[in-house]
Amino acid sequence: MIPIDPPGLNEEEVAMPKVAVTNGFITMLPEVMEEIKALYPDTKFNLERVRFDEDGLIEFLQGYEVVLAGLDPFTEKVISSLPDLKVISCCSAGVDHIDPAVLKKYNVRMGWTPGVNKYSVSELALSFMINLLRQVNEQNVALRNGEWPGRRFGAQLRGRTVGIHGCGHIGQELVKLLQPFDVKILACDRLDYSDFYKEYGVTEVEPEELWAESELLSIHLSRNSTTIGMYNEEVLDKLRPGIFLIQTSRGRMFDEVALKERLEDGRIAGAAFDVFAVEPMTDFGLAELPNFLATPHIGGSAREAWIAMTRAGINGITDNAIPEPGVYPYD
């Protein structure tokens, strides 16, 4: 039962809200669709897997009280145009695409479970590290171009210094995955994870030390006002020369022009990015560099992760709250 008391609805209607699913990916998970339909038989699905703009979202959701959403544009225009909407339940790892002030203004609740894709993203980050060190991407491109590279010279992950910027759900899972590699792990986070650090042999550092000492640096920060644009020219110049960068969190944290310059001149040895300032990507200059590995935001796209996120969305239909600006996850 939705923990709200909307006027004009009887008890039966409150217990069985009108549910719509905008996240088209759910249609590729038939077992989860059946779970949703078993709970809410009249659920409306995005069967054509449309990527909705504002007007499309308004049209699709008219008359619905609950939406299971992906990264849809829930702007003030959208929410103000949907007077019946009571709950946005997120089938996503982050919620930076939803403005909490708008939800609060229109008394719309949000369901969300953090960390549901931590296994999928952390495994991708680990694979990126090995890929960069062994130059897997570059060697594969050479073979696809009909070449047999004369220089096949990589490096091991074992024994290196790995920095993790943001050591929450995903960062901590990456720490666990790194245990067999006998690496030195540095971590930086604004929250106190000292007990976790002690258990897994992690050294807590300030950003300056993280940037100066890490041979590989993996980013796992939330996107907010403090992290957007964090990795600008000044910070990139503080990184250890020859560093490898792994970015699987959210776009708009890096100055991508400055990053490209440093990859081209070797100050940064290599980088693997799954997220970008503009998605879908329109400028492929970075992706064309031989020492840059790009993937189209696949960090949470393992099938198991999508099932977990969708089930979290189902749970959010009944477990939700009106988010508060400036309070986690909007801090």
Task: Give residue-wise pLDDT tens across range 200-235.
Answer: 999 999 999 999 999 999 999 998 888 999 999 999
Residues 42-57: tens digit of each pLDDT: 999 999 999 999 999 9
What integer pLDDT is reported at residue 11 of this predicted model? Answer: 43
**Predicted TM-score of the model (pTM):** 0.89
Q: 141: burial class by Cβ within 10 Å (0-12, 13-18, 19+)?
A: middle
Fold annotation for 118-294: Rossmann fold (3.40.50)
What integer pLDDT is reported at residue 96 of this predicted model? Answer: 86
* pLDDT of 195 strictly over 60: yes
Residues 67-103: tens digit of each pLDDT: 999 989 999 999 999 999 999 999 988 898 899 999 9
CATH of 11-114+303-316, one of 3.40.50.2300, 3.40.390.10, 3.40.50.720, 3.50.30.40: 3.40.50.720
The structure tokens listed for 43 are 């659920």
Same fold, 11-114+303-316 and 118-294: yes
Residues 252-272: tens digit of each pLDDT: 999 999 999 999 999 999 999
The structure tokens listed for 11 are 């008890």
What are the boundaries of each domain within the chain?
A: 11-114+303-316, 118-294
Contact between 111 and 315 (Cβ < 8 Å):
yes
Q: What single-letter DSSP state applies at residue 321?
A: B
Rounded to whole angstroms, the Cα distance separating 56 from 93 reads: 23
* pLDDT of 3 strictly over 60: no
What integer pLDDT is reported at residue 329 of this predicted model? Answer: 86
What integer pLDDT is reported at residue 15 of this predicted model? Answer: 66
What integer pLDDT is reported at residue 1 of this predicted model? Answer: 34
